[in-house]
Amino acid sequence: EAGVGGFFTKTKSEINLFFNLVCDPADVISTVEFNQTGEFLATGDKGGRVVIFQREPQGEYNVYSTFQSHEPEFDYLKSFEIEEKINKIRWLPPHNPAHFLLSTNDKTVKLWKVSEKDKRAEGYNLRDEEGRLKDLSTITTLQVPVLRPMDLLVEASPRRVFANAHAYHINSISVNSDCETYLSADDLRINLWHLNITDRSFNIVDLKPENMEDLSEVITVAEFHPHHCHLLAFSSSTGTTRLCDMRARALCDQHAKLFEEAVDPSRQSFFSEIVSSVSDVKFSHSGRYLLTRDYLTVKVWDLNMENKPMETYQVHDYLRTKLCSLYESDCIFDKFECAWNGTDSVIMTGAYNNYFRMFDRASLRDVTLEASREVCKRRAVLQPRRVCVGKKRKETDVSVDSLDFRKKILHTAWHPKENIIAIAASNNLYIFQDRLTPNGHHNTPEIQSAM
């Protein structure tokens, strides 16, 4: 168990002890993803490990399986190291009692099967159960092994390795609703794979210019539509999101729709393009809307309206005056993810200082919550936080200048049906649930476990 991230193996009673441990960089969580039913939750980390949690009947998530998905590698042709960090995890729709997921690092996508085994064969002809050879003269009849129940064993086995198709770093993978293909996107290209074929993929988008000096944008995220197998969206560093129809052409270089908001020239600055780069795109569960996250805002787009977003929510507008120092510390390039709740009525995204934000689309109310060891006591209700510019108005307010930019919540996931959220903050995974009103109010999540 030594190789497993420290906190994953700790039981709840040891939480306090764990808090004193120093964080190993390999333990930093790099992706979080619920499966289609929400019964399972997978995390990937910088050390190339995948940890799967299963929801117990009582509602708590416990570790179900841990495995090493990727190992560090070295590309000898191009002379560079390939990190083992898991960039994305995507679950496949259920096939059979086993569970399947795709995990990817910068270069290679792998399909994993996580299955349970509860029977064991017993009865050898030539050996006894301890493995000692039997005396041959005692063998007078043949024995067919019989299966006997045993303790449940969860195994993860690699089923496919999809390699050698990306010249740049893979930033997203997405399973198609036809359940037989998926896409993988790197900085300049999007490839389409068949889940059963590992030696061939189709390049459907290629932004690489003839001359790399003409390069003006890179792909930041790509995702398939949840229901229509021919639609995919991808966003770019210039702040645009494109919708492609794979029915129209084999190559999707020409988009069907381009979602872009006209920039107000008066607010243009050196940082405008950097902060407008889209760091995450999520289709709503209904398939009608697109959620995009850029550095300062989250936007909801209607697929039928390309020229401006339906809704724009400020995540941390108070940083607008701090862009210069954020640029110097490279924080301005942080890629925050965003998530929809099961009914598409609330959206969630991360921020700095271990804060994360939720926006209720109907009531337009929003809340800032904090995921940190200090405040996340079991069964305690999270208190809203407020960041203020200038003078504090309340005792609990936090000044912009005291925000800790090293503590950031980049990866979040929302249970597909219930109000359960998973928040990754550095090497900690927080799972909160709204216990009082299962389908209603969102902004009083209760801590289920702080690990």
Partner 1 sequence: MAGAEGDDSLYPIAVLIDELRNEDVQLRLNSIKKLSTIALALEVERTRTELLPFLTDTIYDEDEVLLALAEQLGSFTVLVGGPEFVHCLLPPLESLATVEETVVRDKAVESLRKISQEHSPVDLEVHFVPLVKRLASGDWFTSRTSACGLFSVCYPHVSSTVKAEIRQHFRTLCSDDTPMVRRAASSKLGEFAKVLELDYVKSDIIPLFTALASDEQDSVRLLAVESGVSIATLLPQEDLEDLVMPTLRQAAEDKSWRVRYMVADKFSELQKAVGPEITKNDLVPAFQNLLKDCEAEVRTAAANKVKVFCESLPEDSRETIIMTHILPCVKELVSDTNQHVKSALASVIMGLSTILGKDNTVEHLLPLFLVQLKDEYPEVRLNIISNLDCVNEVIGIRQLSQSLLPAIVELAEDAKWRVRLAIIEYMPLLAGQLGVEFFDEKLNSLCMAWLIDHVYAIREAATCNLMKLVEKFGAEWAQNTIVPKVLGMANDSNYLHRMTTLFCINALSEVCGQEITTKHMLPVVLKMSTDQVANVRFNVARCLQKIGPVLDSSALQAEVKPVLEKLATDQDMDVKYFALDAISGMYPFISLTFQHISSQKHFHSPLYYPLQFFFFNKSAKMSTILCFSVNMGSNGCNITKSEKLKGV
Kindly tell me which residue out of 24, 56, 59, 200 binds partner 1, with binding defined by CB under 8 A.
Answer: 200
Residue type at position 255: H
Dihedral angle of Cα 427, 430, 431, 433, to the nearest 10 degrees: -170
Helix (H) or strand (E) holding 15, with range, is: helix 15-18
Kindly tell me which residue out of 247, 288, 365, 386 binds partner 1, with binding defined by CB under 8 A.
Answer: 247
CA separation for the pair 58, 53 (Å, rounded): 14
Residues forming a β-bridge with 314? 297
Are 92 and 101 in contact, with CB atoms under 8 Å apart? yes
> Quick check: 228 binds partner 1 (CB under 8 A)?
yes
Q: From residue 158, give the alpha-carbon distance in Å to each of 8, 100, 419, 451.
A: 22, 10, 32, 28
DSSP category for residue 8 = H
> Quick check: 288 binds partner 1 (CB under 8 A)?
no
> Quick check: 95 binds partner 1 (CB under 8 A)?
yes
> Total residues at the site for partner 1 (CB under 8 A)?
54
> Quick check: 98 binds partner 1 (CB under 8 A)?
yes
Please, what is the minimum distance in Å from the beta carbon of residue 58 to partner 1?
Answer: 25
Instruction: Specify the residue, 26 or 98, whose C-beta has the smaller distance to partner 1.
Output: 98
Instruction: Specify the residue, 36 or 443, whose C-beta has the smaller distance to partner 1.
Output: 36
Residue 38: alpha-carbon gap to chain centroid: 14
Kindly tell me which residue out of 250, 262, 362, 364 binds partner 1, with binding defined by CB under 8 A.
Answer: 250
Tokens encoding 302: 């209607």
> Quick check: 147 binds partner 1 (CB under 8 A)?
yes
Instruction: Specify the residue, 20 or 96, whose C-beta has the smaller distance to partner 1.
Output: 96
Q: What is the CA radius of gyration of the chain?
A: 24
CA separation for the pair 44, 33 (Å, rounded): 9
CA separation for the pair 256, 153 (Å, rounded): 48
Kindly tell me which residue out of 34, 64, 100, 336 binds partner 1, with binding defined by CB under 8 A.
Answer: 100
Helix (H) or strand (E) holding 358, with range, is: strand 355-360
Instruction: Specify the residue, 141 or 266, whose C-beta has the smaller distance to partner 1.
Output: 141
Please, what is the minimum distance in Å from the beta carbon of residue 151 to partner 1?
Answer: 15
Instruction: Specify the residue, 178 or 317, whose C-beta has the smaller distance to partner 1.
Output: 178
> Quick check: 113 binds partner 1 (CB under 8 A)?
yes
> Quick check: 208 binds partner 1 (CB under 8 A)?
no
Please, what is the minimum distance in Å from the beta carbon of residue 125 to partner 1?
Answer: 4
> Quick check: 266 binds partner 1 (CB under 8 A)?
no
User: Which span sits near partner 1 by CB under 8 A: 175-183, 263-271, 332-340, 387-395?
Assistant: 175-183
Instruction: Specify the residue, 115 or 449, whose C-beta has the smaller distance to partner 1.
Output: 115
Are 316 and 376 in contact, with CB atoms under 8 Å apart? no
CA separation for the pair 378, 360 (Å, rounded): 25
Instruction: Specify the residue, 197 or 305, whose C-beta has the smaller distance to partner 1.
Output: 197
Kindly tell me which residue out of 11, 62, 68, 143 binds partner 1, with binding defined by CB under 8 A.
Answer: 143
- The angle formed by the CA atoms of residues 185, 188 and 193, to the nearest 5 degrees, is 35
Residue 158: CB atoms within 10 Å: 12
Please, what is the minimum distance in Å from the beta carbon of residue 446 to partner 1?
Answer: 33
Instruction: Specify the residue, 285 or 320, whose C-beta has the smaller distance to partner 1.
Output: 285
Q: What per-residue string of b and e applies to 314-325 under the rule 16 or more CB within 10 Å gives b?
A: ebbebbbebbee
Please, what is the minimum distance in Å from the beta carbon of residue 117 to partner 1?
Answer: 6
Kindly tell me which residue out of 169, 230, 335, 441 binds partner 1, with binding defined by CB under 8 A.
Answer: 230
Q: Which of 108, 99, 34 lies closest to 69 in space, CA to CA?
A: 108
CA separation for the pair 128, 134 (Å, rounded): 6
Judged by the rule CB under 8 A, the positions of this chain that interact with partner 1 are 93-98, 100, 113, 115, 117, 119, 121, 124-127, 136-137, 139-147, 159, 164-165, 167, 177-180, 189, 191, 196, 199-204, 227-230, 246-251
